[in-house]
Structure 1
Amino acid sequence: MRTLLLSALLLTAGTVQAEGSLELNERGYFSMPGLDVTVFADIYPDGHQSGVTVIQHGVRTAANGDVRLETSPGQWSPVPTGVGEAHVDEKNQRISQTLAYPDESKNRKGFNPIEYPDLNFSYQVHVEPLEGASFKVTVDLSQPLPDAWIGKVGFNFELFPGDLFGKSYVMDSSAGIFTNQPNGPMIKHKGEWLAEPLATGKTLTVAPEDDAQRMVIEQLKGGRLELWDGRTNHNNGWFIVRSLIPAGASRNAIEWVVTPNVIDDWQYKPVIQVSQLGYGVNLPKTAVIEQDSNDTKASKVQLLKLGSSGAELVQESSPKPWGSFLRYHYLQYDFSEVREPGMYQIAYRGQKSQPFKIGLDVYSRHAWQPTLEYFLPVQMCHMRVNEKYRVWHDKCHHDDALMAPVDYNHIDGYISGASTLTKFKPGQPVAGLNKGGWHDAGDYDLRVESQIGTTWLLAMMVEEFGLDYDATSIDQQKQLVEIHQPDGKNDALQQIEHGLLTVLGGYQALGRLYRGIIVPTKRQYVMLGDAAAQTDNLVYHPSLEPGEIKEGRSGTPDDRWVFTEQNPTRELRVAAGLAAASRVMADYSPELSQQALGAAEGIFTQAFGKSDDTAARAFVLAELILTTGKQSYIDALTNMKSAIVADIDNTAWAIGRVMTVIDNQEFVAAVHQAVVEQQKHVRAQAAETPYGVPYKPHIWGAGWGIQDFGVKQYFVHKSWPDIASSDIYVNALNFVLGVHPGSNTNSFASGVGSKSALVAYGVNRADWSYIPGGVISGTALIRPDLPELKEWPFFWQQTEYVMGGGATNYMFLALAVEALERRAGAEPSANSD
């Protein structure tokens, strides 16, 4: 019955199995047109990037095929460690990876410590191609599992949910639909509540109706396949196909055959990558066309102008071949000569780009403004944030904060030593921390580097571009924010004030900088929704008995913890940001300005001699020189000549702004020559990709790093315009706005451009929503060569917002390119409209 049902479904779908078979390619994975199978080529199982992975018709449909200790693992679940690199056996067409539990580098230590059980074993996962598109997965254990672990350890294979919603599955004689939300009934399974399996059996067919995604998974030996919905216990879970490792099994403990369907003669369709926002009249304009690696021919490109009669052909020309990058072939189409304002599209081989604008006013509205109008206000901590009828979040975290425990490794990268480094004892309330700050995007914590990073960037926008914009009311006394209700004050200065309130509040209360402020428990940490629900907003006094009241307030022990650290390099970077903020706040709030400068100089005195980080030392000296003009700071900087030149990649951007006040010509000449060489390296890096910027993501998408790179290039160009090109920071902005690799050409800036990231990893991610002006991490690299940006709110490595750079670096670049366009002959900026 099962065979007849499956055959009928396949015939109805009209499948034609592609000719040829999977074979090892020169990149070390199995490949054929329309299908790639990688085996432990990636490094991030926590983010669903590792194990046995299927890329079907250019789309990653399944991943993380590996042995796991839980049916539905989460972010802090035990993961194995690879023992050496995967062994690629070209002769026998086989890839094998040895792995083991536990991973001692993560076992109760590291940035996200994991609690491993008392279980030690090693195993191998083997993958080998069969006929056509089929491949076999085999798991060999070094020895059978202990009896206590039978029924708990299995081979998991994860199916990406976002492309399966509404599609069907068939398991033997049963069938069903992949639902948009996880549904019960719930069962107690191995100690946790899960929805009961969607299906069990010997053969699973995924999406039988979809030729591009159909996949058949068959269990060869005894036992059965189980199909689970991993979202019932983790919002970011995937659909999971699982087989348990049987008692006494070692060799061939798991044997599967997986057959993804492949469409005959499939080829990756060309993708046209343009800025979704548009281009200035006077600036370079280059679109990138991404084609199948075997498709190296160029067709004509058409530039269309949009008007009342539809699309009018403006230009037809041949794009310039660029060459191979990652897994694709690239072409470039330069249309810089087109200067007539209007709306345009690019057409190529039946594909069309999104509409984009060419104009003098591209950045005057709807560009950087959403970041200042929406994203920064929404992220404000300790405030109620209203947008007309909507409440983004209520007053929150007014019980900040209790002194963190000592000798403690928190779940999210906060580590305390043997002392609190302050007069406060662990668990003691620290007053003065319940003001200012921005939630760190996908989380609700306040990291000092993100707070000062945001503050510094805003100060630079005021200083460099005269940013003066008012669309928001911010009342620190009432702790109330009203979006789209101007109050007659510069929003940028009000946001800088908000950043200073948290950094200086911590410095004044603790006698030093805080490392960060974060909730104590995992349950609080993973909470999504209104920030006001994370704590009860009442200060907890651990010395009191339940029901007692002190100063009219008594809460539960849900208060956030404040951590401190000994980190002179980070302290110097904070001091630099404080010095910069003190300059731009001098007229707006003289008292706060003086407090910021006093703290900056005090921190500098304490930390400068303790840090050997040249970049941080140069940065703080440059900002203090700009703020105070003191000769002692100038002398300290010039005395660092050798170190600065040796680290010119990380120092040039910071010190360029003070070169005009330095009389030491030997220092000036040495730095100048170093910048000449450094820019040769920068241009070489930019030329490694068709995008004019380096693209080398690690775990997170490269967008944030490219933005940071662009901001620094702006400062180098400003200081040495005859050496450093402005093209690179223009390219960095265009990369964020859509000129980036992969089939998803979304603008990384939510709500900016004709097509943007409208499903993002913010605090509202469970609603599949976005915050305008937030900027996601962007296109990630699925190793070894797949650029990927999925529409999925639970990929922090692709769609997360972040404070301290992500959104404000983008905002800075948009203002910088707006200023560049204006200098090239554009109309006056509309900043102050």
Structure 2
Amino acid sequence: MKNTSLAACIFAVAIAFAPCSFANKLTINEQDYFEMQGLNVTVFSDIYPDGHQTGVTVIQHGSRVAANGDLRLEISPGQWSPVPVGGKQVVDKKTQTITQTLSYPDPSKDRKGFNPIIYPDLKFTYDVKVTALEKNQFKITVDLEKPLPAEWVGKVGFNMEIFPGEFFGKSWLLDEQAGIFPQQPNGPLVNLHGEFLTAPLATGKKLIVAPDADKQRMTIESKTGALELWDGRANHNNGWYIVRGVVPADKTTAALEWVVTPHVIKNWVYEPVIQVSQLGYGAQQPKKVVIEQDKRDTKASEIKIFKLSESGKTLVKKANVEPWGNFLRYQYMTYDFSSITEPGMYQISYRDKTSHAFKIGDDVFSRHAWQPTLEYFLPVQMCHMRVNEKYRVWHGIDHQDDAIMMPLNFNHIDGYISDGSTRTSFKPGERVPGLDAGGWHDAGDYDLRVESQMGTVWLLAMMVEEFGLDHDATLIDQEKKLVEIHVADGKNDALQQIEHGLLSVLGGYKSMGRLYRGIIEPTIRQYVLLGDAMVQTDNLPYDPSLKEGEVKNGKSGTPDDRWVFTEDNPERELDAAAGLAAAARVLKTYNPQMAKDALDAAQNLYKIAVPKTTRQDVRIFALAELILATDNDAYRQELIGLQAQVVAEIDKTGWAIGRVMPSIKHEPFVAAVNAAVDSYQQQVRERAKTESPYGVPYKPNIWGAGWSVQDFGVKQYFFHKAWPQFAGTDSYVNALNFVLGVHPGNNTQSFASGVGANSATVAYGVNRADWSYIPGGVISGTALIRPDLPELKIWPFFWQQTEYVMGGGEANYMFLALAVDQLNSAPK
């Protein structure tokens, strides 16, 4: 079909998936990356080198196998290693070349920003050029503006990172050397430029990656200096295999040149993926299966739905799927099987693929759905406690030395920044009492952010109020600082968890007269600790009068205590005020004194923060919670006075005020808000039809969209509750389905660990180095590799895909599961 016209070629593909000339050679497409059937090469299309997600990237047979191709200053860079700043990109379709200009340092990251990086005294600019050659071959060329300084010769090199998860146990060939990609990094160690690494696996000119695997086979040949094959996991657990070429002295033009030839299986087509909830559906619940296909594969085939029984599978439905259209890089089909309502277990088949088994029944979310989050994840994350589960100790008593006041004028490695004041009576380095109790570790880290604490508190309070959540599967003893998973103590676990969160937040508030920003470990070595939380510090308060390592009178000379940071942030104060007001309502009977303290703090914080805030949506959120907590008409009149702001940002305010609307009798306010909600929900319904085949917005930035989809779903629940005439249930039901497996990409795992037939059981928690998981934790989920690849790797070190989180993901998921359970069990 060499001379086939483009139109005829498209027609041939549509009806028979015939190979076409335009699809059998790497060519720059409309999205400015190289494409052919079975292979894509992107050139700095993405923005996240810290997460192995930019540079020259190879997507082979639908899977990203190599990335971050770029000049680096270290053999095996880590999270806080110097990265370049991108400049101009030139896409030349005539020569089939993409050129990216970059330079060191990046002034936006050099000792500043959320994750500050310390750059060396080195400034240089360079171009990375990628040119398509014959068929599936491309050339990488590096041109320097000027030669490297002599002291940097041998240290700067071009790194291409090879994703380990695709290659464990597969072979490699480098000239006359050969080996297997190891499961773990192995010695011996070598010292190169002060960096200790395992010795390179081999050195040569021509590397063949995975000659034993057609889907991953790739040749990298250097036309200039030698290639070095390294295992980058030796000094960073989250490292990849690295192919490296050192930039030589006195070279500028073509200082480095590689030719890369990824193998492509002839006429390869992405196999259809069946996307259906890993748990299942209520009997009357809308049910839709999504089929993801190669964009060249436009055929709408027959789908078969089977009910499972003692005799095996019984066909209950078959029909052709309906084309939905293109989304990202795929073609999508859907089929609505809502008419199937008989309780039982089912499977779906499409072509030669069969889905996992799933349940239909009104009790599908009554057990094994939200319970793992409350029974496992929240207890495991509890700070300042020993957490046991029968024979297992999840972690010992930790951080009993909390916390000392932050240093001044300091930019911490994880986004905590101080200026010239502590804003309290405490001096830098002075111990702040009341912080050695309560709180939850922030998922993949051991810090306590105030928004994480109060977000969790608010959501738990909502679950108690909205669904009457009353579940006892955990013993929590604050006096003994002991947690026993699956030991009942006669108390509502949700209320005990709310109490635990407030012990930390109110403890700091009472001591300092203000909220903390967060409590964080002082050093990188402590920050990256993976293991038992109790060993992050020595659990003894620091006494600067003692020598390093000395212990006396229950104090220690080791300065390992966590720091408490403060800030002026009226938006965070208002957000916390909302959570405190909600907690005060549900704790009235369980812990009256804490309820009073929480409400007093909420009202005081609101009073202080309102004059300083520029965010009226957060103010309105706090105001709504205070109205519900106090029934104070002054707050109600204040809300009515904010009518213009409420209406202008109805997507951000409507969900928050819905529960107070019945108590507002001001007709102009009610009418204006109702009209705004009606208009907004029309937009929501239209976007649900057109933006994605999933009925929810999928727009990830760096982190996977799971958390934002869940947040959207929770807010849509409150819209529906207050305005059922305008807002249906589809949005929050679809959000739950998205989390439970109906999401883009070929990995259809449930984002909730341990929930459903197939879930994320390799996750970025504090136990990630064990390739393990915490039941009920909820990962960030399917990320977007720009411009159009949805990706969810089975890899514990991608925080942007598999990280747990506090204050949103886990509790939003739990809320949605309870909401849909309530919907399913409602009288029909």
**Is this a same-fold pair by TM over 0.5?**
yes
Equivalence for 1:334: 336
Question: Residues 771-816 of structure 1, C-alpha deviation per residue, up to 9 Å, x if partnerless?
Answer: 0000000000000000000000000000000000111000000000
User: 1:248 maps to which residue?
Assistant: 250
Which one is further off, 34-43 or 673-682?
A: 673-682
2:500 partner SS = helix
Q: Please say if residues 549 and 558 of structure 2, whose CA atoms lie closer than 8 Å, have aligned partners that are also in contact.
A: no
Identical amino acids, percent of aligned pairs: 68
Post-superposition shift, 1:91? 1.4
1:494-533 deviation digits (Å, cap 9, x = unpaired):
0000011011001001110000000000000000010001
Asked whether the equivalents of residues 17 and 262 of structure 1 are also in contact (C-alpha less than 8 Å), the reply is no
SS at structure 1 position matched to 2:673: helix
Q: Do 1:48 and 1:63's aligned partners in 2 also have CA atoms closer than 8 Å?
A: yes
- Cα shift at 1:758: 0.5
Indicate yes or no: 2:388 matched with 1:383.
no
2:550·2:557 contact (CA, 8 Å) conserved in 1?
no
Q: What pairs with 1:661-672 in structure 2 (closer than 5 Å)?
A: 661-672=663-674
The corresponding residue for 2:569 is 567
Deviation for aligned residue 1:548: 7.2
Paired residues of 2:287 and 2:336 also in contact (CA < 8 A):
yes
CA drift at 1:685: 2.6
How many angstroms apart in 2 are the aligned matches of 1:680 and 1:408? 47
- TM-superposed deviation, 1:663: 1.7
1:578-727 to 2 correspondence within 5 Å?
578-687=580-689, 688-727=691-730
3-state SS in 2 of match to 1:298: coil
Answer yes or no: is the 8 Å Cα contact 2:358–2:757 preserved in 1: yes
Alignment correspondent of 2:228 = 226
Question: 1:250-265 to 2 correspondence within 5 Å?
Answer: 250-265=252-267
Paired amino acid for 1:504? L
Counterpart for residue 202 of structure 1: 205
1:684 Cα deviation (Å)? 2.6
In the TM superposition, what is the alpha-carbon distance from 1:547 to its structure 2 partner? 7.7
Which residue, 183, 186, 191 being the options, matches 1:188? Answer: 191
Residue in 2 that maps onto 1:30: 34
Corresponding residue for residue 795 of structure 1 = 798
Question: What residue number does 1:51 align with?
Answer: 55
Q: Is 1:358 matched up with 2:357? A: no
In the alignment, the residues of structure 2 paired with residue 586 and residue 389 of structure 1 have an alpha-carbon distance, to the nearest angstrom, of: 36
Task: Using the TM superposition, give the Cα deviation of residue 70 of structure 1 relative to its aligned residue in structure 2, in angstroms.
Answer: 0.5
**1:144: Cα distance to partner?**
0.5
Consecutive unaligned residues of structure 2, counting only runs of 5 or more, are 1-18
Q: Supply the distance in 1 between the matched residues of 2:429 and 2:273 (Cα, whole angstroms).
A: 56
| 2:509 maps to 1:511 | no
Matched, 1:820 2:818: no
- Check whether the contact 2:779–2:804 (CA below 8 A) recurs between aligned residues: yes
The DSSP-based 3-state class of the residue aligned with 1:645 is helix
Q: State whether structure 2 residue 18 is matched by structure 1 residue 41.
A: no
1:175 aligns with 2:178: yes
- Note the alpha carbon deviations across 1:358-395, whole angstroms, 9 max, x for none: 01110010000000000000000000000000000000
2:465 corresponding residue in structure 1: 463
- Within the alignment, does 1:111 sit opposite 2:99 as a pair? no
> C-alpha displacement at 1:544, in angstroms?
4.4
Q: Which amino acid aligns with 2:216?
A: Q
Shift of 1:455: 0.4
Instruction: Give yes or no for contact 1:17–1:264 (8 Å, CA) kept in 2.
Output: no
Q: Distance in 2 between matches of 1:533 and 1:681?
A: 51
Residue-by-residue CA offset, 1:655-674 (whole Å, 9 max, x unaligned): 11101111211111111111
Q: Distance in 1 between matches of 2:668 and 2:339?
A: 43
Which deviates more, 655-664 or 758-767?
Answer: 655-664
Amino acid paired to 2:776? G
1:139 aligns with 142
Query: Contact 1:641 / 1:667 at 8 angstroms: preserved in 2?
Result: yes
Q: CA 1:551–1:423 in 2, change beyond 3 Å: closer, same or farther?
A: farther
Give the letter aligned to residue 78 of structure 2. Answer: G
Please show how residues 56-75 of structure 1 align to structure 2 within 5 Å.
56-75=60-79
* Matched residue, 2:24: 20
Helix, strand or coil: the match of 1:193?
strand
**Structure-2 residue corresponding to 1:775:** 778
Distance in 2 (alpha carbons) for counterparts of 1:795 and 1:529: 18
- The change in CA–CA distance for 1:356 and 1:555 in structure 2 (over 3 A counts) is farther
Q: Which residue of 2 aligns with 1:92?
A: 95
Cα drift, residue 542 of structure 1: 2.0
CA 1:364 to 1:555, structure 2 compared with 1: closer, same or farther past 3 Å?
farther
- CA deviations 1:61-115 (Å, max 9, x no partner) are 000000001000000000000013x211111111110000000000000000000
Q: Structure 2: how far apart are the matches of 1:661 and 1:555? A: 58
In structure 2, the residue matched to 1:10 is none
Which secondary structure does the structure 2 equivalent of 1:241 belong to? Answer: strand
Shift of 1:20: 2.5
Partner Cα distance (1:544, 1:205) in 2? 58
Is this contact kept in 2: 1:536–1:555, CA < 8 A? no
In structure 2, what is the Cα distance between the partners aligned to 1:28 and 1:593?
57
Once residues 439 and 569 of structure 1 are traced to their aligned partners in structure 2, the CA distance between those partners, rounded to angstroms, is 22
Q: Summarize deviations over 1:329-384 as a string: whole Å, max 9, x none.
A: 00001100000111111000100111110011100100000000000000000000
1:128 paired to 2:136: no
Task: Report how far residue 307 of structure 1 moved.
Answer: 1.3
What is the CA–CA distance in structure 2 between the aligned matches of 1:61 and 1:174, rounded to whole Å? Answer: 22
Q: Is the CA contact (8 Å cut-off) linking 1:428 and 1:541 kept in structure 2?
A: no
Contact 2:547 2:557 in 1 (8 A): no
Are the equivalent residues in 2 in contact too, given 1:304–1:313 (CA < 8 A)? yes
What CA distance in whole angstroms lies between the structure 2 residues aligned with 1:598 and 1:280? 42
Structure 1 contact 98–125 (Cα < 8 Å) conserved? yes
Match of 1:831 in 2: none
Q: Could you tell me how far apart the structure 2 residues matched to 1:665 and 1:406 are?
A: 52
Q: 2:542 and 2:78 mapped to 1: Cα distance?
A: 31
Equivalence for 1:496? 498
Give the CA deviation at 1:42. Answer: 0.4
Aligned to 1:829: none
Q: Which amino acid aligns with 2:346?
A: Y
1:830 match: none
1:606 is displaced (CA, Å) by 1.1
1:95-140 CA distances to partner (integer Å, 9 max, x unpaired)?
A: 1100000000000000000000000000000001111101000000
Structure 1, residues 292-320: CA drift from partner, whole Å, max 9, x if none? 00111111000011111111111001111
1:259 and 1:352 mapped to 2: Cα distance? 34
Distance 1:644 1:37, change over 3 A: same
Kindly provide the amino acid, as one letter, of the partner of residue 220 in structure 1. Answer: K
For the 8 Å contact 1:428–1:542, the answer to whether it is kept is: no
Contact 1:429 1:541 in 2 (8 A): no
Aligned residue identity for 1:35: L
Structure 1, unaligned runs of 5 or more: 1-15, 826-833
What's the TM-score, normalizing by structure 2? 0.97
Match of residue 6 from structure 1:
none
Secondary structure at the residue paired with 2:267?
coil
Q: State whether residues 80 and 102 of structure 1, in contact with CA within 8 Å, keep that contact through their aligned partners in structure 2.
A: yes
Root mean square deviation, CA, Å: 1.3
